[in-house]
Structure 1
Amino acid sequence: MGETPDARPARVLIHDPTLRDGHHAVRHQLDTDQLRAYAVAANAAGVAVVEVGHGNGLGASSLQIGRARLSDATMVQVVREALTDSRLAVFMVPGWGTCEDLRGAVGHGADVVRIAAHCTEADITERHLGVARDLGAEAHGVLLMSHMASPEKLAEQCALLAGYGAQAVGIYDSAGHYLPADVTERIAAIVAAVDVPVIFHGHNNLGMAVANSTAAIEAGAQVIDATARGFGAGAGNTQLEVLVAVLERMGHSTGIDLRRLLSAADLAEERLMKAPPVIDSVSLVSGLAGVFSGFRKPVLATARREGIDPADLFFALGDRQVVAGQEDLIDDVAHQLKEM
């Protein structure tokens, strides 16, 4: 088993899901010109890995959680053509995506495949991690809504992912619920349990995404996710250009040209989003309640329709530990609140 390192890693690999996680903020409606423009800019800045797709990953475009403007194949092809140095990544949750979706994505040029599962359900990834490896892609295994599990449980689940062939493993703070001490404890436990690089993916509901990401690095994480301007659902993700600037101040190498990255972030704000994410009251409550940020819009719509406080609805959903894909429960919980 690996041991928590005593020294900072010489280099931090930045994984950029702006064109995938950011899709949540625009109802999955980015077009080919937008994808291409940002991919070219990120590639020029030296970003190691650029991820693209529907916000919920391969195969997720649907009436239930939103239809993407473009097909998975088109998104992968457009970004693949724009990347001359950066690697191309895709993301998939078994159940939304299938092995056939993986074959299509790798066939169109994906280099890295992220297979994701709820934080206590690593066993559902075994087949898909194996397929990704067989296809010649770099396979990652990641755990969503990780605040719902203890450090020990997360370490156990990440060890399973590594045992299934994942070449990097890690956790997503899908609800933006963590504080730095939470991250330190969890990442240290995972680093001690596996012999592959450890990933951290933060959200900014409590304004802690950059601090949480640096805590992850100090605890031994080697792969950190971040998006331009924090582009993502609700309060957004770890802000890429801020993170890289902070890491430079801390003495960490990322291989990224900060000046060119700032230009890429400016382009993202101008071309991809109506406005950068902010921590408003709803995002803050979502983080406190531990509810996935992608629930923001349906929660607000339901609360408005039913005449209830969205904060009450978020906390009730948090109590029920809802996860992405359970959006149909929002109406049920709202009706229960009205009857109380």
Structure 2
Amino acid sequence: MRQNTVPSLPQPGRHTFMDCTLRDGSYSVDFHFDAQTVETVLTCVAAAGLEWVEVGHGLGIGGGTVAGTNLSDEQWGELATRFLPESCRWGMFVQPGLASVADVRRMAGAGMSFARIGVDILAYEEAYAHVRQARELGLTVFVNLMKSHLVGLDEAVRIGLDIERACAPDGLYFVDSVGQFLPEQTARLFAEASRRLRTPLGFHGHNNLGLANANTLAATNNGAAIVDCTLAGLGRDAGNAVLEQLAAVLELQGGKRVYHTDALAHASEHCVSRLRTVATDRELQVLGALYGLHSKYFPAIDDAVEAYAVDRTRLMEAVKPHAYERDLTRTDIEAIAKSLLPAA
């Protein structure tokens, strides 16, 4: 069995990429990647020099129980082990409410080398038990703070310090789940967090405002040790930072090749970009970023707009303050829509 060891995270002042094409990108194909695409992507990113590759259902381990998929967690592990060399380790996303510690143990036994524990930043303590157990399994463990836009810079750093003291993960990600971050904001966050935290930092951005690449560069230029990218920017809704583009930027900045940009660009054009992807609503993507609303709320918002004939933008603006306080249900959004109706 493959040893559960991974390359070390870079020293301060340096950074590396994690490829998430086959995890976050699975949202764009309704969690149904064909076997040939999986083989091509895994072979390409490994040959291009990437050392960190995340695979699996978009929701992480156990995601197939919520949203159907053609590949089980075990099948993902088999494919990753078959097509990735020893120098390129693979891991999976873990949401504590969806994947149990036993599930993580099962995938560690299948060769998984790292786990990314994803929790909303307002519920960060939910990560602690999974982090501790994953570390005991010999995995490299990241905490991914989803919806990091919900708190300010000082609070984000305080939460990072709490996590560092409580469970000492190997890496800590700030996640721009709604694509709202601006490059100057990202730069300030990572400059301050890298100054005050010992834990290596990571960034995962979404492209709702066309700024995923710029935010990723702002993160790497201000202390991020590892950042997420996908071929062609494939990902949930508006997508992610673009792997082949950032590889080219890195080459231009340093005057030397770090990753095989040409191979990544070829795979993007001739494999990933030609996939039949699910339709997305560009209006909702932009408004979601503007009002800080996660895409999981979009179906309920659209249903409420249709049911109560309220203006979509007005409803999203009204939902915003509530979403910054707690996780909303469909019933919550319906009640907010009703509150916008004229008095009888």
Is 1:162 the counterpart of 2:164? The answer is yes
CA distance in 2 between partners of 1:324 and 1:97 (Å): 22
Q: Which of 133, 136, 158 does residue 138 from structure 2 map onto? A: 136
Does the 8 Å contact 1:129/1:139 carry over to 2? yes
Shift of 1:306: 5.4
Q: How does 1:316-327 map onto structure 2 within 5 Å?
A: 316-321=318-323, 326=328
Amino acid at match of 1:42: V
Percent of pairs identical after alignment? 27
CA distance in 2 between partners of 1:227 and 1:324 (Å): 30
CA distance in 2 between partners of 1:302 and 1:213 (Å): 35
Listed as ranges, the gaps of 5+ residues in structure 2 are 1-10
Aligned residues: 330
Q: Which of 108, 111, 114 does residue 109 from structure 1 map onto? A: 111
Q: How does 1:39-50 map onto structure 2 within 5 Å?
A: 39-50=42-53
> CA offsets per residue over residues 234-281 of structure 1, 9 Å max, x none?
211111111221222222878311111112212443454438x98932
Does the 8 Å contact 2:150/2:324 carry over to 1? no
Does the 8 Å contact 2:18/2:227 carry over to 1? yes
Is 1:237 the counterpart of 2:246? The answer is no
Match in the other structure for 2:184: 181
> CA offsets per residue over residues 69-106 of structure 1, 9 Å max, x none?
32222222222211113210211111111101111221
Shift of 1:144: 0.7
CA RMSD between the two structures: 2.8
CA distance in 1 between partners of 2:250 and 2:299 (Å): 33
Match in the other structure for 2:126: 124
Does the 8 Å contact 2:310/2:337 carry over to 1? no
Task: Specify whether residues 257 and 196 from structure 1 end up closer, same or farther in structure 2 by C-alpha distance, changes over 3 A only.
Answer: same
CA distance in 1 between partners of 2:290 and 2:244 (Å): 25
Match in the other structure for 1:77: 78
Shift of 1:292: 1.8
Does the 8 Å contact 2:213/2:241 carry over to 1? yes
Does the 8 Å contact 1:188/1:220 carry over to 2? yes
Match in the other structure for 1:61: 64
Moved more, 31-40 or 290-299: 290-299
CA distance in 2 between partners of 1:254 and 1:193 (Å): 32
Listed as ranges, the gaps of 5+ residues in structure 1 are 1-7
CA distance in 1 between partners of 2:176 and 2:309 (Å): 30
TM-score, with length taken from structure 2: 0.86
Does the 8 Å contact 1:205/1:236 carry over to 2? yes
Amino acid at match of 1:180: P
Task: Specify whether residues 151 and 88 from structure 1 end up closer, same or farther in structure 2 by C-alpha distance, changes over 3 A only.
Answer: same
> CA offsets per residue over residues 189-234 of structure 1, 9 Å max, x none?
2212221211011111111111111111111111111111111122
CA distance in 2 between partners of 1:153 and 1:138 (Å): 25
Q: Which of 4, 13, 24 does residue 27 from structure 2 map onto? A: 24
> CA offsets per residue over residues 282-310 of structure 1, 9 Å max, x none?
21111111112344456446545655444
Match in the other structure for 1:15: 18
Task: Specify whether residues 228 and 303 from structure 1 end up closer, same or farther in structure 2 by C-alpha distance, changes over 3 A only.
Answer: farther
CA distance in 2 between partners of 1:39 and 1:12 (Å): 21
Does the 8 Å contact 1:183/1:216 carry over to 2? yes
CA distance in 1 between partners of 2:229 and 2:326 (Å): 20
CA distance in 2 between partners of 1:282 and 1:273 (Å): 21
Task: Specify whether residues 215 and 97 from structure 1 end up closer, same or farther in structure 2 by C-alpha distance, changes over 3 A only.
Answer: same
